C-alpha cells in the first residue's frame, strides 16, 4: 500500500494535495498572473499596477518563473539598455480558461453590473469570451448536476466508510 493510502487511513495527512488551486498559493500570485495577461512584462509595471511590494513581487516572480508560468528574458531594443521581461510561457497562457471561468463566475455572481476587473474579448470579433463545459464525447453540459465529481487517483482514496 502506498504511503498516500496509508496516510489516508491513519491519522492526519500532511495535507491533501491541492493541485491546481496551488497556482494561487497566496494572495498576490493571482494578481500578477492576471496582470501578465494584460500584457504587463516589466518588474516596475507589475509593481505599480499590482500594488505589490518589490520584495514580495520579486519572490513571487521568482516562484512563477520556477514553476514555468513566466519566463524571464532579456529584451534589448537597439540603442537602449537591455530590459528584463517576464512573459507568460505556454504553460502560463494555458491558464487563460481558468481566468475566463473565474471571470464568468464573478460577472454572474459578484458584479452582475458588468463592472468586472477583467475584460476578455475575442480578438477577431470583439465579443466577450466565455467558457463552456463539454465532455470528451462532445456533449454540451449545461448544469453542474450533469457532472460527477470524485476524488481522482492522485487524491486520498475514498475510505471504505465513505
Partner DNA sequence: CAGTATCCCAAGCGATACTG
Partner DNA sequence: CAGTATCGCTTGGGATACTG
126/98 Cα distance (integer angstroms): 20
153/84 Cα distance (integer angstroms): 41
Q: Closest approach of Cβ 90 to a copy of itself, in Å?
A: 9
CA atoms within 13 A on the CB side of 100: 14
Q: Closest approach of Cβ 53 to a copy of itself, in Å?
A: 9
Q: Which region among 35-43, 57-65, 78-86 touches a copy of itself (by CB under 8 A)? A: 35-43
Q: Which region among 57-65, 72-80, 126-134 touches a copy of itself (by CB under 8 A)? A: 126-134
By the 10 Å C-beta count (0-12 exposed, 13-18 middle, 19+ buried), 98 is classed as middle
Interface residues for DNA in 19-78 (CB under 7 A)? 25-28, 42-45, 51-62, 72
133/144 Cα distance (integer angstroms): 9
Q: What's the Cα-to-Cα distance from 64 to each of 19, 73, 75, 114, rounded to whole Å?
A: 15, 14, 19, 30
- The residue within the footprint of a copy of itself, chosen from 15, 74, 78, 160 (CB under 8 A), is 15
- The residue within the footprint of a copy of itself, chosen from 18, 42, 62, 76 (CB under 8 A), is 18
By the 10 Å C-beta count (0-12 exposed, 13-18 middle, 19+ buried), 112 is classed as exposed
Q: Closest approach of Cβ 109 to DNA, in Å?
A: 21
- Binding mask 55-84 toward a copy of itself (x if CB under 8 A, else -) reads -------------x----------------
Q: For binding to DNA (CB under 7 A), which residues are involved?
A: 12, 15, 25-28, 42-45, 51-62, 72, 83-86
Amino acid at each position: 500500500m502506498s504511503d498516500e493510502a496509508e496516510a489516508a487511513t491513519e491519522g492526519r495527512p500532511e495535507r491533501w494535495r491541492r493541485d491546481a488551486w496551488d497556482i494561487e498559493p497566496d494572495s498576490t500570485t493571482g494578481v500578477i498572473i492576471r496582470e501578465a495577461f494584460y500584457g504587463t512584462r516589466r518588474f516596475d509595471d507589475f509593481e505599480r499596477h499590482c500594488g505589490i511590494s518589490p520584495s514580495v513581487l520579486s519572490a513571487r516572480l521568482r516562484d512563477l518563473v520556477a514553476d514555468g508560468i513566466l519566463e524571464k528574458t532579456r529584451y534589448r531594443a537597439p540603442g537602449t539598455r537591455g530590459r528584463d521581461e517576464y512573459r507568460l510561457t505556454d504553460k502560463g497562457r494555458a491558464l487563460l480558461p481558468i481566468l475566463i471561468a473565474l471571470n464568468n463566475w464573478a460577472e454572474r455572481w459578484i458584479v452582475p453590473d458588468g463592472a468586472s476587473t477583467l475584460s476578455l474579448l475575442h480578438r477577431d470579433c470583439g465579443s466577450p469570451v466565455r467558457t463552456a463545459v463539454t465532455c470528451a464525447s462532445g456533449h454540451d453540459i449545461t448544469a453542474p448536476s450533469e457532472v460527477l465529481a470524485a476524488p481522482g487517483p492522485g487524491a486520498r482514496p475514498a475510505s471504505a466508510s465513505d
